[in-house]
Structure 1
Amino acid sequence: MTDVARERLLAEVEEHGLAAMAFSEEGSLTYDRVLKHFSFRYVVVSDAEDGVEMASAIAEDRAETELRERGYGHGGLRSTATDMDTMKINYKGRRAPGAA
């Protein structure tokens, strides 16, 4: 990473901490002052039959492109994906419909 890129990241570190973690289609970059680890979070909308592997590949491509365009060096990227259609939502304190 260039010194200019490092200075830019450190100047904006307060805007990219853990409190800034969010999922969006544009992507959300979070990191700390050490500049060793980072997280890019994306919402990827795709066909269910494409599976989470395709969503992961799309997100990794977006992250690599964004990092390259910003001039931020990085090693190999790893990703995880969750199919939101299969997630169980646990509404604490709410009763299920028809429950007494």
Structure 2
Amino acid sequence: MSTRTFRITVRGSFDGLTDDQRAELLAAAPEHDMLRAEFTVEGHLTYDLAARPFFTFRFLESGETEEDILDATARAELAAEGWLTERGYGFKQLKSQAQDLSQAPLGKRGRREAARAEGRA
């Protein structure tokens, strides 16, 4: 059985931040800039609190079956909630979206590489 890679996005908004918490997040904003967004196993947080109260966590998970994506999504949501709660940040409206990369359509370059690989097999 082959391993599948899942990309999971957990979105929400900060809620009821204190002035100190807001200042803390603004000070750390360069580390969480949307231009540096990436999917990681531990989860990568991005936000632009100066513009809006929304945040996004991006997680990279794996599994062996299509059904594993449900468990991976649940783990990602719990990890995002845990990170926020551990730091005392209020949040609301968490929503998750997951993609199984084995089911993602290939772009032109990917199709060309797949065709070459089939020709060599």
Q: Sort the Cα spacing of 1:85 and 1:35 in 2 relative to 1 into closer, same or farther, 3 A.
A: same
Partner in structure 2 of residue 11 of structure 1: 27
**Structure with higher RCO (Cα < 8 A, 6+ apart):** 2
Alignment of 1:25-44 (within 5 A): 25-32=41-48, 33-44=50-61
Distance 1:73 1:46 in 2: 31
Aligned residue identity for 1:50? E
Identical aligned pairs, as a percentage? 39
CA RMSD of aligned residues (A): 2.1
DSSP 3-state at the match of 1:42: strand
Partner in structure 1 of residue 71 of structure 2: 54
Structure 1 residue 21 corresponds to structure 2 residue 50 = no
Where in structure 2 are there 5+ consecutive unaligned residues?
1-16
CA contact (8 A) 1:44 1:58 kept: no
Distance 2:85 2:102 in 1: 32
Work out the number of aligned pairs and report it. 98
Q: CA deviation at 1:50?
A: 2.8
Partner in structure 2 of residue 2 of structure 1: 18
Where in structure 1 are there 5+ consecutive unaligned residues?
none
Distance 1:41 1:56 in 2: 11
DSSP 3-state at the match of 1:71: coil
Residue number among 62, 78, 81 corresponding to 1:64 in the alignment: 81
Q: CA deviation at 1:11?
A: 0.7
Could you state the TM-score of these two structures normalised by the residue count of structure 1? 0.82
More strand by share: 2
Alignment of 1:73-84 (within 5 A): 73-84=90-101
Distance 1:62 1:85 in 2: 24
